[in-house]
């Protein structure tokens, strides 16, 4: 279908609940919640910057959690799952999201690092060919999923360190409500 779209230039309307299918076939994406458009835009933009926790979940983001944004003499940090994530380099406006927040990061954006990261313990490994999907416990508290090259982590219970790049995190005020947007 994708090749046919490219060869013919044919406009296609596709209704799907599968985010992978939407990413593969769509140039533009509409995210609907209860029949209302809550996000619309270019496929790459919508997938990279979900408008709400609900939109993120519908787009297949599995690392969605709550926390607090704190600003003090040490800078701005996201406190979540028992860890403090420096938010220097965050691409959004944290002033609007100060205090209680919901946030997300895609598994492919969580980085495995040798040192200086968040201490974590491997809870599960799913081998998917050239990549592994690894579930970790952050500092012994909340869980996150990350994608690694195959065999980068080889055993459940192993200790590792991860980094959550602020530019890959999306933050919303906890009281965020999905608002209908103009789909034009």
Residue 131 maps to which CATH number? 2.40.50.140
Q: How many domains does the chain have?
A: 2
Mind listing the pLDDT tens digit for each residue in 133-159?
A: 999 999 768 899 999 999 898 899 999
The pLDDT of residue 178 is: 63
Question: Comparing 16 with 165, which gets the higher pLDDT?
Answer: 165
- Backbone torsions φ then ψ of 101, nearest 5 degrees: -140, 160
Is position 66 within any domain?
no
Mind listing the pLDDT tens digit for each residue in 72-117?
A: 787 888 998 788 898 987 877 776 556 789 999 999 999 999 999 9
Which residues constitute the domain of residue 50?
1-60
Q: Which two tokens stand for residue 140?
A: 């012994």
Is position 148 within any domain?
yes
Is position 181 within any domain?
no
Is position 159 within any domain?
yes
Instruction: Lowest mean pLDDT of 17-31, 90-104, 123-137, name the range.
Output: 90-104
Is position 172 within any domain?
no
pTM over 0.85: no
- Backbone torsions φ then ψ of 22, nearest 5 degrees: -65, -45
Is position 24 within any domain?
yes
Is position 85 within any domain?
no
Is position 11 within any domain?
yes
């Amino acid at each position: 279908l994708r090749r046919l779209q490219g060869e013919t230039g044919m406009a296609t309307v596709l209704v799907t609940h599968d985010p992978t299918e939407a990413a593969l076939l769509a140039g533009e994406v509409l995210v609907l919640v209860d029949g209302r458009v809550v996000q619309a835009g270019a496929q790459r933009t919508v997938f990279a910057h979900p408008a709400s926790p609900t939109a993120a979940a519908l787009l297949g983001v599995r690392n969605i959690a709550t926390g607090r944004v704190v600003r003090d003499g040490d800078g701005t940090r996201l406190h979540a799952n028992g860890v403090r994530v420096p938010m220097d380099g965050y691409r959004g406006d944290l002033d609007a999201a100060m205090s209680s927040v919901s946030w997300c990061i895609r598994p492919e954006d969580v980085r495995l690092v040798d040192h200086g990261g968040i201490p974590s313990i491997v809870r599960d490994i799913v081998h998917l060919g050239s990549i592994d999907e690894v579930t970790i416990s952050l500092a012994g508290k909340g869980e996150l999923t990350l994608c690694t090259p195959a065999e980068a982590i080889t055993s459940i219970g192993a200790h590792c360190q991860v980094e959550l790049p602020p530019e890959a995190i999306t933050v919303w005020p906890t009281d965020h409500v999905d608002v209908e947007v103009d789909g034009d």
